[in-house]
């Protein structure tokens, strides 16, 4: 086990509520944005959509009240590719970069996705100092994110059920596992021994590819503690295993 760091960018105008050298638990409020601001959030899967579909979705959501998780569009294989609202509130539209805009009617809060023993608070970023392990992988999608890691290894479609929600899983075998796992709300996917034919860059979850022995080692290391979380960053190829 060694010291690892994760850096969180602080939006302009945010009010940081934690202090330098604080211990932060998973679920603690890190910062808040005052009501009245326009909150911009990325729409997972937006980049992979055709122009005509994007325009249709823009018209459908503009100036509407949306609910967190509300389906905005579905398509692809068996309709498993879904676009969902990332929060509740009045939608002000979607910009050309795929950022969906909401009117912040009340203070928007950002909650820590992990527990760490010490943070370093700076003007535009917060550095989380934690214990765990760092691995490298090949990026498949373009979305970064956290997920709970229980060492779940899936080798066929029948092994995937709704209990995988928010978990990072290891997937081996047929490519259809990836589409089904995303539809069921997994937190991320580590692919091993799988030939990828489809383009998953626009997937709404973080997806990386690792050597089988590296994934096996990751599971072994996660057993050192009762709870662990994974940060997958396909853009940099970095995988952080945090032991809580």
| Phi (first) and psi of residue 125, to 5 degrees | -155, 160
Q: Per the structure block, which two tokens stand in for 55?
A: 């325009």
Q: Any residues with CB less than 8 A from the CB of 55 and at least 6 apart, and which? A: none
Region of poorest pLDDT, from 82-96, 155-169, 202-216? 82-96
- Note every long-range contact of 152-155, with CB atoms under 8 Å and residues 24 or more positions apart, other chains counting: 153/215, 153/219, 154/181
All domains of the chain in start order, with CATH: 38-103 (no CATH), 137-243 (3.50.30.10)
User: What are 164-223's pLDDT values in tens digits?
Assistant: 888 999 999 999 999 899 888 899 999 998 988 777 887 878 999 999 999 999 999 998
Burial class (CB in 10 A: 0-12, 13-18, 19+), 151: middle
Please state the pTM of the whole predicted model: 0.72
Region of poorest pLDDT, from 68-72, 78-82, 173-177? 78-82
Characterize 177-195 residue by residue with b for buried, 16 or more Cβ atoms within 10 angstroms of its Cβ, and e for exposed: bbbbbbbbbbbbbbbbebe
């Amino acid at each position: 086990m060694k010291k690892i760091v994760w850096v969180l960018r602080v939006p302009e105008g945010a009010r940081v509520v934690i202090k330098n050298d604080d211990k932060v638990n998973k679920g603690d409020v890190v910062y808040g944005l005052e009501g009245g601001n326009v909150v911009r959030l990325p729409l997972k899967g937006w980049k992979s959509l055709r122009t005509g579909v994007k325009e249709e979705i823009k018209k459908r959501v503009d100036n509407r009240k949306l609910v967190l998780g509300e389906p905005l569009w579905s398509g692809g294989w068996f309709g498993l590719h879904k676009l969902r609202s990332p929060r509740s509130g009045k939608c002000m539209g979607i910009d050309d970069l795929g950022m969906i805009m909401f009117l912040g009617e009340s203070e928007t809060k950002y909650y820590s996705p992990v527990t760490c023993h010490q943070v370093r608070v700076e003007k535009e970023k917060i550095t989380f100092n934690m214990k765990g392990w760092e691995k490298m992988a090949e990026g498949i999608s373009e979305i970064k994110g956290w997920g709970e890691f229980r060492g779940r290894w899936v080798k066929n479609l029948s092994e995937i059920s709704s209990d995988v929600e928010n978990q990072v899983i290891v997937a081996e075998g047929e490519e259809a596992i990836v589409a089904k796992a995303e539809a069921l709300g997994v937190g991320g996917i580590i692919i091993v021994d799988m030939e990828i034919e489809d383009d998953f860059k626009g997937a709404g979850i973080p997806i990386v590819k690792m050597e089988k022995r590296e994934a096996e080692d990751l599971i072994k290391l996660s057993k050192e503690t009762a709870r662990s979380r994974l940060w997958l960053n396909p853009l940099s190829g970095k995988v952080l295993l945090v032991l809580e």
